[in-house]
Every structure is written in structure tokens, then in C-alpha cells.
Amino acid sequence: MLRVGLTNWARRKSPWVLHFNSGACNACDIEVVALLTPRYDVERFGILLKPTPRHADVLVATGPVTRQCAQRLKRIYEQMPDPKFVVAVGACACSGGVFRKCYNVIKGVDKVIPVDVYVPGCPPRPEAIIDGIVKLLKEVGG
């Protein structure tokens, strides 16, 4: 009982994030990077941006997933150790957004890998992304 409580506490308090751009226009990526700047500073919650999928707990994916990116996105997801979560950031990542009629996109991260939290917006504000991650953590902690 205590062990489960400690594990859940640790997972809630230290979500490490991997950021992946699957063909986004860079607006969402700038908003994600803004989370690390002094104004929003998500290290307050223990969130760190990690360079490799092996160290990460949460995959923050942006972009409509181009056909070329789909395999890479899937492989990066598979390289992450369990338990792992996915946050789709931006209208494109949720449904394809303005690119949904394009011939070369798959229209959404959830067509390739399971998504836990959707953060819509074009681009979403950093507050919205923090809100999405906090909602995810509530789900994790029980």
C-alpha cells in the first residue's frame, strides 16, 4: 500500500517530457519551449525537458503527423519505458487542423499512437499546455 502510494507520488511529482515535432509549423513548438522560460518555468512542478525518449515519461507531440514522420513517431513512442503518456499539443496534433485536407498528413497523433490528453489551440497558450499536463498527472496519481 505504502509502496504504491510512494510510486504514484513520485510519478506525479516528476514527469519528464520529450518534445517531438511531427511536421508542425513551429508555433506550437515555440509555445512548448516557452514553458521552460522563467515566465512559466515548469521545473516548479518537477517537469524537465529530456533529450532522449529513454529518459522521458510524457511525449509532447505537435503537428499533424506527416506520412514520413509517422514511423518515426511510432518508433520514438516504443523507445520510451513504461509507464508512458502522450499529450497531443495543438489543433493539428488533435485532428489535423488546417492541414487536414493535405494529401501527405495522417491527421492527428492518435492515428499512430494512443493519446492521453488533447490540448487544442492554434497554437495553445502555455497555460493551456500546463493545464493539460496537470490533468494528465491527476489521472496518474489517482
Partner 1 sequence: MTSDLLLLIFRVLIFPGFLFLLSLTLFCDWFERKIMARMQNRMGPTYTGPFGILQPLADYVKLLTKEDITPRRVGGVIFAVTPVVSFALFMLSAFYLPIDGLNVFHNVGFEGDLILVLSLITLAHFTLFLSGWSSANPYSALGATRILVQFLGYDIPLIMLAAGSALMTGSLSLREIAAKQSVPLAILMPWAFVPFLLVLQAELEEDPFDIPHAETEIVAGYETEFAGRKYAFIRLSKDLQVVFGAALASNLFLGGPYGPLLFGPPAFWFTFWFVLKVLIVIFVMELIEAICARLRIDHVVKANWSLMFPVAVLSLALTVIAVPWLRGATWIELLEAR
Binding region for partner 1 (CB under 8 A) = 6-7, 9-11, 13-14, 38, 41, 43-46, 50-52, 54-55, 57, 79, 81-83
Distance in angstroms (rounded) separating the CA atoms of residues 58 and 63: 16
Residue among 46 and 102 whose Cβ is closer to partner 1: 46
Helix (H, G, I), strand (E, B) or coil at 77: helix
- CB 76 to partner 1: min, Å: 12
The three cell numbers locating residue 43:
521545473
- Residue 2 — φ and ψ, nearest 5°? -65, -35
Q: What is the DSSP letter of 36?
A: T
Give me the least distance between CB of 110 and partner 1, in Å please. Answer: 22
C-alpha span between 135 and 142 (Å, rounded): 11
Residue among 54 and 138 whose Cβ is closer to partner 1: 54
Q: Of the two residues 46 and 104, which places its CB atom closer to partner 1 in the complex? A: 46
Least spacing, CB of residue 2 vs partner 1, in Å: 12
